[in-house]
Chain A
Amino acid sequence: MNFRVERLGSVTVVVAAGRLDFSAAAGFQSEVEKLSGTADGTTVLVIDCAELEYVASAGLRVFLLAARICQRDGRYFAACALQHAVREVFELSGFGRIIPLHPDRDAALSAAQSRPA
């Protein structure tokens, strides 16, 4: 898989692309952990999944860890633009109940802005 990081002020967006399988999960996890735990002024972390084609439980672990770190630090965490197959794995795992899943990046950013302080 590939990923790139985009920073827009206090918002950090990680664009994930390709296959987040067991082999890719460790590298992606260390990057996401670093981003979600860095005191760089980021208040919103969004993982943009528009180009993410595949996820299994090893990949879900990365989202779970990021959500926990952000919750601990009072940051907003969400995923957006999940392809159908990826969304199915999130929903079957109950992750749609613990991580906000938005249809696209704009929806994620607007939810982040309107959340209670």
Chain B
Amino acid sequence: MNEHQTRVMGEPSQLPRLTRFLRDFWVTAALPPEAAHPFEVALEEVFMNVATHGAPAGRPAQVAVSLRRDGEELTLQIEDDGPAFDPLTLPTPNVYARLEERRIGGLGVHLVRQLMDAVSYERDGACNRLRLRKRVARTDAAGVAGTDRNRVG
């Protein structure tokens, strides 16, 4: 099992740090570069929700992010100490609406649901915990680390 963790303040300026964290994990775990995009999008959407809406009174939230690989399944977990909020309760945006009626609100969570295989939320004491899972094919059928170790998509 392969697990990496990091902690950041829940502020928009911290997004590049999280992106680097994810990319470093990708290289270390020798995952296929083209499979990184859905996880990068999911991480941005969840983190930015916390950073812009999820702060406790008077200070930014503390955010803990972990990535774990079990065989071909990757789990991205994002925890924050903001007020209890389950983003999975947000209404699904109408992706069939006409141009003039389209809204961006709710689109981030919709993307997370669509891009991941499984998404779950739990409130644990003072902590919101969102767990995202998706199967990531290895770079070869034998499950041996691929040759493109230094490439991240």
The interface of chain A, by Cβ under 8 A from chain B, is: 21-23, 53-58, 60-61, 64, 67-68, 71, 84-85, 88-89, 92-94, 97-99
Contact = CB atoms under 8 A, between A and B. Distances in A.
Given A22-B15, A85-B34, A98-B102, A54 B40 contact: yes
A22 B48 CA distance: 8
Given A22-B48, A23-B15, A84-B34, A94 B95 contact: yes
B111 A92 contact: yes
Contacts of B34: 84-85
B107 A93 contact: yes
A88 B45 CA distance: 15
30 contacts: A21-B15, A21-B19, A22-B15, A23-B12, A23-B16, A54-B37, A54-B40, A54-B41, A57-B45, A57-B108, A58-B44, A58-B48, A60-B107, A61-B104, A64-B102, A67-B99, A68-B99, A85-B38, A88-B115, A89-B41, A89-B111, A89-B115, A92-B111, A93-B111, A94-B95, A94-B96, A94-B97, A97-B96, A98-B98, A98-B102
Interface of B: 12, 15-16, 19, 34, 37-38, 40-41, 44-45, 48, 95-100, 102, 104, 107-108, 110-111, 114-115, 153
A61 B111 CA distance: 13
Given A57-B108, A89-B41, A93-B111, A71 B12 contact: no
Given A57-B104, A64-B104, 11 more contacts: A22-B44, A55-B41, A60-B107, A85-B38, A88-B115, A89-B37, A92-B110, A93-B107, A94-B95, A94-B96, A98-B98
